[in-house]
Amino acid sequence: IPAAHDIPAVAGASLRVPLVTGGDIGYANLDHAASAPCLDAVRDAVDEFLPWYASVHRGAGFASQVSTRLYERTRDVLRRFVGARRTDTVVFTRNTTDSFNLLARSLPRHTTVVVFDTEHHAALLPWQGPNVRRLPTPRTRLAAVSAVDEALADAPQGPRLVVVTGASNVTGELLPVAEIAAVARRHGARIALDAAQLAPHRRISIKDLDVDYVALSGHKLYAPFGAGALIGRADWLRAARPYLAGGGATKLVTEDAVVWNDGPERHEAGSPNTVGVYALGVACETLSRNWDALVAHEQALLARLRKGLEGIPGCAELQLFDAPVDRVGTVSFVVDGFDPGWLAAVLSAEYGIGVRDGAFCAHIAAKRLIAVTGGEGRQAVRVSLGLGSTEEHVDRVVLALRQIVARGARWEYAKVDGRWAP
Ligand code: PMP
C-alpha cells in the first residue's frame, strides 16, 4: 500500500462518531461509492474562492470576471480529465442523473437506445418509450459485447445510442467499454459512458475508449454535491431544445422570438453552481496527478477486504460476471440468515462503520445478482473503498462481520420508520 502521503488527503479523516456501547471511535467511512469525502485540496481551494465568487457571465466587476474565468476554465479541466476530443462540448449539470436526462432530451427523434437492464437507475430510466431496447446483462464480458452487437444489428436504421456504465456501482466490476464502443462504431451507433463510478478510480479517455459521451458527478469525485458534467459530441446538444429555459441560455429575446445559444450555455440557464463547478475542477486536477498511487492504494485494500470476506461464514459476494474481472474497490455481499439493513445498522452503531445497504438504485441488478448467489432477497450490504479508506477500516469491517455472525442476530435492534435502529 502506498504511503499515506503519496495519495491526496481527504477531509473527515479525524471524525469521531458515537457508539451505542459507549464512547466514540474514528469514523470508518466505507461508502465512497455513494459520495466521496471532500479532498483537502478541494476544501482549501474552495475556501480561497468563496470570498471571490460573484455573478458568472453577467457582471463587469473584477470578482465577476474571476468567477467567470474559473467557471469557463473548468470546462477545459474536465475536457482534459476525460481525454476529450477538441470538438467535444462540456455542459455543467447537477450530477450524472441530470447529465443523462439532458442527453435523453437531446436525442434526435426515433433514436434507438440500447442499454443493459442492470444499469444504475440514472442510466436506465431516462430512456423511455418503444425505441428503448433493454438487454439482460449476460454472465460474461464477451457475451455482453455480443448482446449489444445483436441488438444493434436488429435495430431499425436511424440514430442509435448505446448506454453503458464504466464500473458497476453494485460490484465494482469494469464493463468492456472499449469493446462495446467498437461494436457501436461498426453499426454507426453512438455510445454514452456512465462514468459515475469509474471516473473517481481510473483515468478515462474518451479518445482511447472511443465513446461519444461521458457523464459524471462531482460528489463521487471528492468534491461537494451539486455539480456534474456531460461531456461529448456537440451536434445533438446544439440542435436540441434547451434543457432549462431562462437567462443565460439565450443570445436574443424579442417580443415574439428567442434565439438560443449554440454552446453549452444553451442548457445551463439560470445562475450556475460556480463554487461546485470550481470544486469539481480542482478535484479532477488533483486526482489526475495521482492515478498510480491511488489505484495501488485501492487495489491493495480491495484484495485485503475480499480475502477477509471470504472467511466470513455464509457471506457471498455479488458478481456481474462469472470470470474474475478488473474492478474498483466496491464490494456488495449478502450473509446467509442476516438482514442486510440490520447488518449495516450494527456496523454503524457498534463499530462506527458507514456502509450502504439496500438495492443501490439498481433494483434489477441487485435482485438478479443475489439470485446468482442462491439468495432470494433484493437487498445487500455494500462496502466501497476510496482515498479515505485505510487498512484499519478494512480490518475493522471484516472483524466486525466475523463477530456479528458468530453471535447471531440479537433483539436489541428494531425497525424504526423502515430502517434498523438500536
Ligand atoms: N451511475 C452510477 C453507476 C452511480 O453509481 C450513480 C450514483 N450512485 C449514478 C449513476 C447517479 O449519480 P448521481 O446520484 O450523482 O446523479
Cell 451536434 identifies what position? Answer: 235
Confidence of residue 255 (pLDDT cuts 50, 70, 90): very high
CA atoms of 144 and 283, how far apart (whole Å): 33
Contact 155, 133 (CB under 8 A): yes
pLDDT of residue 162: 98
Of all atoms in ligand 1, which is nearest to the CA of residue 228? 15
DSSP classification of residue 51: G
pLDDT of residue 59: 79
Please tell me the total number of residues recorded for the chain in this structure: 422
Of all atoms in ligand 1, which is nearest to the CA of residue 220? 15
Ligand 1: centre distance to CA 218 (Å): 10
106 pLDDT higher than 70 = yes
Which cell numbers in the block locate residue 190? 453512438
pLDDT of residue 173: 98
* Ordered structural domains, the chain, with CATH: 4-30+291-421 (3.90.1150.10), 42-288 (3.40.640.10)
| CA proximity to 331, closest of 368, 301, 361 | 301
pLDDT of residue 1: 58
| CA proximity to 137, closest of 126, 151, 125, 155 | 151
2 pLDDT higher than 70 = no
> Is residue 53 packed enough to be buried (19+ CB in 10 Å), middle (13-18) or exposed (0-12)?
middle
Task: Determine the residue of 95, 99, 124, 230 to mutate for testing ligand 1's pocket, defined as the one with the most ligand atoms within 8 A of the Cβ atom.
Answer: 95
Ligand 1, CB cutoff 6 Å, lining residues = 95-97, 120, 122-123, 165, 169, 194, 196-197, 217, 219, 361
Task: Determine the residue of 95, 96, 384 to mutate for testing ligand 1's pocket, defined as the one with the most ligand atoms within 8 A of the Cβ atom.
Answer: 96
Of all atoms in ligand 1, which is nearest to the CA of residue 194? 1
pLDDT of residue 335: 97
Confidence of residue 60 (pLDDT cuts 50, 70, 90): confident
Confidence of residue 6 (pLDDT cuts 50, 70, 90): confident
Residue nearest to atom 8 of ligand 1 (CA): 34
Chain segment 163-211, per-residue pLDDT in tens: 999 999 999 999 999 999 999 999 999 999 999 999 999 999 999 999 9
Task: Determine the residue of 197, 213, 221, 363 to mutate for testing ligand 1's pocket, defined as the one with the most ligand atoms within 8 A of the Cβ atom.
Answer: 197
224 pLDDT higher than 80 = yes
Question: Phi then psi for 26, rounded to 5 degrees?
Answer: -60, 130
Helix (H, G, I), strand (E, B) or coil at 33: coil
411 pLDDT higher than 80 = no
38 labelled catalytic: no
Residue nearest to atom 6 of ligand 1 (CA): 196
Contact 176, 141 (CB under 8 A): yes
DSSP classification of residue 266: G
Percent of the chain with pLDDT over 70: 99
pLDDT of residue 414: 86
5 pLDDT higher than 90 = no
Ligand 1: centre distance to CA 127 (Å): 15
Confidence of residue 410 (pLDDT cuts 50, 70, 90): confident
Of all atoms in ligand 1, which is nearest to the CA of residue 97? 16
* ipTM exceeding 0.85, yes/no: yes
Which cell numbers in the block locate residue 189? 451507433
Ligand 1: centre distance to CA 62 (Å): 36
Percent of the chain with pLDDT over 90: 93
Chain segment 316-341, per-residue pLDDT in tens: 999 999 999 999 999 999 999 999 99
